[in-house]
Amino acid sequence: MASTAVYTVEGMSCGHCVNSVTEEVSGITGVTDVKVDLESRSVTVTAESRIDDAAVRAAIDEAGYEVAS
Protein backbone atom coordinates (compact mmCIF):
# COMPACT_ATOMS: atom_id res chain seq x y z
CA MET A 1 0.00 0.00 0.00
CA ALA A 2 1.41 3.36 -1.04
CA SER A 3 1.96 6.09 1.51
CA THR A 4 2.51 9.83 1.22
CA ALA A 5 4.14 12.34 3.55
CA VAL A 6 4.65 16.10 3.27
CA TYR A 7 7.65 17.93 4.71
CA THR A 8 8.33 21.66 5.02
CA VAL A 9 11.91 22.42 4.04
CA GLU A 10 13.83 25.53 5.09
CA GLY A 11 16.36 27.25 2.86
CA MET A 12 15.15 26.37 -0.65
CA SER A 13 15.15 29.42 -2.92
CA CYS A 14 15.75 28.35 -6.54
CA GLY A 15 15.44 25.63 -9.16
CA HIS A 16 18.80 24.18 -8.17
CA CYS A 17 17.44 23.70 -4.63
CA VAL A 18 14.43 21.84 -6.02
CA ASN A 19 16.65 19.60 -8.16
CA SER A 20 19.00 18.80 -5.26
CA VAL A 21 16.19 17.82 -2.89
CA THR A 22 14.38 15.85 -5.60
CA GLU A 23 17.53 13.93 -6.53
CA GLU A 24 18.45 13.02 -2.94
CA VAL A 25 14.95 11.99 -1.85
CA SER A 26 14.31 10.06 -5.08
CA GLY A 27 17.33 7.91 -4.25
CA ILE A 28 15.66 6.41 -1.18
CA THR A 29 14.64 2.79 -1.68
CA GLY A 30 10.89 2.50 -2.17
CA VAL A 31 10.25 6.15 -3.03
CA THR A 32 8.12 6.33 -6.17
CA ASP A 33 7.50 10.09 -6.50
CA VAL A 34 8.86 13.38 -5.14
CA LYS A 35 7.17 16.73 -5.72
CA VAL A 36 8.89 19.88 -4.51
CA ASP A 37 6.92 23.14 -4.34
CA LEU A 38 9.36 26.02 -4.01
CA GLU A 39 6.68 28.60 -3.19
CA SER A 40 5.24 26.69 -0.22
CA ARG A 41 8.62 25.09 0.65
CA SER A 42 6.90 21.70 0.70
CA VAL A 43 8.23 18.33 -0.36
CA THR A 44 5.65 15.61 -0.98
CA VAL A 45 7.08 12.10 -0.91
CA THR A 46 5.20 9.02 -2.14
CA ALA A 47 6.51 5.52 -1.50
CA GLU A 48 5.34 2.02 -2.33
CA SER A 49 5.16 1.17 1.38
CA ARG A 50 5.69 2.97 4.69
CA ILE A 51 7.87 6.07 4.29
CA ASP A 52 11.15 5.97 6.21
CA ASP A 53 10.93 9.39 7.88
CA ALA A 54 14.54 9.29 9.09
CA ALA A 55 15.79 8.49 5.58
CA VAL A 56 13.80 11.37 4.05
CA ARG A 57 15.12 13.80 6.65
CA ALA A 58 18.68 12.55 6.10
CA ALA A 59 18.32 12.93 2.31
CA ILE A 60 17.05 16.51 2.67
CA ASP A 61 19.95 17.23 5.02
CA GLU A 62 22.36 15.67 2.50
CA ALA A 63 20.97 18.04 -0.16
CA GLY A 64 21.91 20.91 2.14
CA TYR A 65 18.52 21.84 3.56
CA GLU A 66 16.64 21.36 6.79
CA VAL A 67 13.20 19.97 7.54
CA ALA A 68 11.21 22.48 9.61
CA SER A 69 10.23 21.11 13.00
| Structural domain boundaries enclosing 35 | 3-67
pTM: 0.93
What is the domain-level CATH number for residue 48? 3.30.70.100
User: What's the number of domains the chain is made of?
Assistant: 1
Round to whole Å and give the CA distance between 19 and 69.
22
| Interval 22-34: pLDDT, tens | 999 999 999 999 9
Q: Quickly count: other Cβ atoms within 10 Å of residue 68's Cβ.
A: 11
Say what the pLDDT of residue 17 is: 94
| Interval 45-64: pLDDT, tens | 999 999 999 999 999 999 99
